[in-house]
Amino acid sequence: MSGTSRTVAFTALTPIVWGSTYAVTTEFLPPDRPLLTALLRALPAGLALLLISRLLPRGVWVWRAAVLGALNIGVFFPLLFLAAYRLPGGVAAILGAASPLFTLALAGLLLSERPTAHKLLAGVIGVFGVSLVVLRSDAILDTTGIVAGLAGTASMAAGTVLTKRWGHPEGVGALPFTGWQLTAGGLLLVPVALLVEGAPPALDGAAVSGYLYLAVFGTAIGYWIWFRGISRLPATSVAFLVLLSPLSAAVIGWAALGQALTPLQLLGMVIAFAGMLLGQIPPKTKKPAAAPPGPAVLSTPGPLPARSPAP
């Protein structure tokens, strides 16, 4: 396995873990507290990473970390949960599966990564496959939910592309870089969560365990792996890994919650996985044209040796 393939496989662990969020939320966490869940995922994880790395952003990276934290966490999480509450889960998942298409468009504008035909095809295949897995015929559409879902997807795509465009400050690794964004996004969520949902309720042992799992594995470790992958892979390749999240959620629902998987859903998984793999194929680079042959150069003979005088 090549170094790039290993990086792709390692980065793919994050959306697979993200797929467990639905099961953890429904089975362990208090209901109707999406913003509290987002806050407790982001801020404690970010502060822990800052404590470990002991490195704060400086100069231009103060506002850049704030922007990235807002796009990837502080804005994305509330919009994600709003869409999840206003739409059936399947519709929200389909909107999230459109993330590669948003990333393709933004990467073309900001990174000069021109979207190729096979990448666009991979994006469409991915959305179609996910729709077969999660969409139900009785799904009811809600305008506010659709707008929130699309805006959240665009926010994450913009965060991915800007993370790739700005890179890391010199000498700063993925760990403190992740801590900056989680802390910035978490601080942005504090007033929103308090204003909308009020003070947090009393938490039992199951809820504390669920929040710890989401904060440690789904956020601190998950986003560290994610931003590490963005720094080493094309932004569009990383974006296609998001398709694994609804597939992971469906498998966990089947294995842990006893939810059935129909043959059509299994077919959708295969199609979505194929779209994800197609999105990892790098574009073909054109070989430079061979230089045309130059005019023939005739060698000029050197001076003839002097003839010895005749005896």
Low-confidence ranges of the chain (pLDDT < 70): 1, 88-90, 137-141, 285-311
pLDDT for 145 equals 80
pLDDT for 295 equals 54
DSSP character string of 82-135 = HHHHHS-HHHHHHHHHTHHHHHHHHHHHHT--PPPHHHHHHHHHHHHHHHHHH-
> What six digits make up the tokens of 193?
């969560």
Please give the share of the chain, as a percent, with pLDDT higher than 90: 54
The model carries a pTM of: 0.85
What is the tally of helices (H) and strands (E) in the chain?
Answer: 16, 0
Alpha-carbon distance 263 to 250, whole Å? 13
**Residue 274 CA, distance from chain mean position:** 18
Give the CA distances from residue 28 to residues 24, 210, 212, 257, 305, in Å, rounded to whole numbers and listed in that order: 6, 6, 11, 13, 100
Residues composing the chain? 311
Give the closest residue to 38 by CA, choosing from 170, 163, 227, 196: 196
pLDDT for 286 equals 55
pLDDT for 97 equals 86
Interval 253-286: pLDDT, tens: 888 878 788 898 899 999 999 999 999 988 776 5
* Tokens 């669920």, residue located: 210
Report the largest interatomic distance among the alpha carbons of the chain, rounded to a whole angstrom.
Answer: 124
pLDDT for 300 equals 43
Give the CA distances from residue 299 to residues 116, 244, 263, 296, 302, in Å, rounded to whole numbers and listed in that order: 49, 66, 76, 9, 9
Alpha-carbon distance 232 to 167, whole Å? 10
Alpha-carbon distance 156 to 177, whole Å? 16
pLDDT for 214 equals 93
Interval 34-58: pLDDT, tens: 889 899 999 999 999 999 999 999 9
CB of 95 closer than 8 Å to CB of 217: no
